[in-house]
Amino acid sequence: MRGIPVIPIENGSATKNLTERDIQVLHDLYQYQMLNIKQIRELHFPGSEKYVYKRLFQLKREGYVKSRPLVEKGKKVGAGYFITEKGLRILEVQGLSNKERRARDNKPSGIRLSSVIERNELYTQLLPYKWSFVNGRDFKKTNGINRGALLSGLFIRQDGKQFVLYILENNTRDQTFLKLQREIKLLSDRNILILCKGPVIYEKLWEAEDMHAKELSIIPFPSAIPIMRWYCTNDILYQELQRFGVVSTEQNRFHFGDMVVQGEATKYYVANCLMGDKMTLHYLKRYSYDVYQRTGIKVLLLHWAVGEFQFPFDRYPHVQSVPFYLEELPTR
């Protein structure tokens, strides 16, 4: 990582020993509020565990960052780093910050520390696969959404597809669940991605009948990173589906897919549940056997081979199960 020239700051003095990588670290701390050492190392110091400790110590000693302990179940599990006002002034000189947001506003509160670190773990793990992320604060401001909204941000796949992100605890309260339903109603023209931190909230979301969006993807939190690493572009599906025939894009009039496959003797609609899209199954269930007999077009239903997935295949003989296996995903 090349160094950068000495940078003047507002009072006319100069920064000392700051590199381009230091500026990038400060910018990420500003953008994502708080990162732990593991996340900073993966983003900026890959393969250099000792040096990341040394560099963070120097940035902290010079007053550009601060840290606070991260605690789980009463035990310290590490430290989270956040930017200071001095560090923020460096970003202002570089044109990398919004002057309306000061360091005191950027620091997450104690009750939000674990959720911020958790959200940023998704960001750091998915960045190498060309997913990008807009944090919740900036997304809310840009779209005129209340600051108290539950959403965590916006993920953007490398092919441009966007997902508004929610992360829900297993013991989500009824009041919070009702608030979620109201928010999704306001965002019904967008793709929604909800990551569930337990089976109770996962099942509750699938059972809820009054939640609708353009896509409503519901995934167990532990499965999110491997699924999203693999499914980082729709080109993946074109490759996978070629074993059934010629693949093309075509929005079907039954609203459960935008891909078709023309086999040697059979044409298929593609119903894609690989991102846990509840809306796909909602509309697919309207494509009854009687409707199929009129169209003559069968369905390939793409889904993960896990116990949570349920579909009444016995009542839909025209729908062919196409299971995918998490443990068989290629490491790239």
> How far apart are alpha carbons 14 and 6 in whole angstroms?
6
Residue range 1-107, CATH number: 1.10.10.10
Contact call for residues 326 and 304 (beta carbons, < 8 A): yes
pLDDT greater than 80 at residue 63: yes
- According to the model, what pLDDT value does residue 5 have? 41
How far apart CA 314 and CA 170 sit, in angstroms, is: 32
* pLDDT single digits (tens) 129-146: 999 999 898 899 999 999
Residue 59 or residue 7, greater confidence: 59
Q: What residue type is 229 in one-letter code?
A: R
Confidence of residue 7 (pLDDT cuts 50, 70, 90): very low
> For domain 130-232, which CATH number applies: 3.30.70, 3.40.1560, 3.40.50, 3.30.43?
3.40.1560
> Does position 332 have pLDDT exceeding 80, yes or no?
no
Cβ-Cβ contacts under 8 Å for 174 (sequence gap 6 or more)? none
pLDDT of residue 307: 64
Give me the residues paired with residue 153 across strands. Answer: 135, 165
Neighbours of 70 (CB within 10 A): 17
At a CB cut-off of 8 Å and minimum separation 6, what does 148 contact?
Answer: none
Q: pLDDT tens for residues 139-182? A: 999 999 999 999 999 999 999 999 999 999 999 999 999 999 99
Band (pLDDT 50/70/90 cuts) for residue 17 is confident
Residue pair 32/138 in contact (Cβ under 8 Å)? The answer is no
Contacts of 278 (CB under 8 A, 6+ apart): 205, 206, 211, 216, 217, 218
Q: Is 287 exposed, middle or buried (0-12, 13-18, 19+ CB in 10 A)?
A: buried
Q: Are 277 and 216 in contact (CB under 8 A)?
A: yes
Both tokens assigned to 61: 């000693």
pTM for this entry: 0.88
DSSP sequence for 124-164? HHHGGGT-EEEEHHHHHHHHT--TT----EEEE-TTS-EEE
pLDDT-derived band of residue 208, with 50, 70 and 90 as boundaries? very high
Nearest to 190 by CA among 219, 227, 152, 216: 216
- Ordered by start, the domain boundaries in the chain are 1-107, 130-232, 235-328
Q: At what angle do helices 20-32 and 113-126 cross, to 10 degrees?
A: 130
Local confidence band at 331 (pLDDT 50, 70, 90 cut-offs): low
Q: Do domains 1-107 and 130-232 have the same CATH topology?
A: no
- CA-wise closest residue to 172 among 208, 128, 133, 135: 208
Residue 8 scores a pLDDT above 70: no
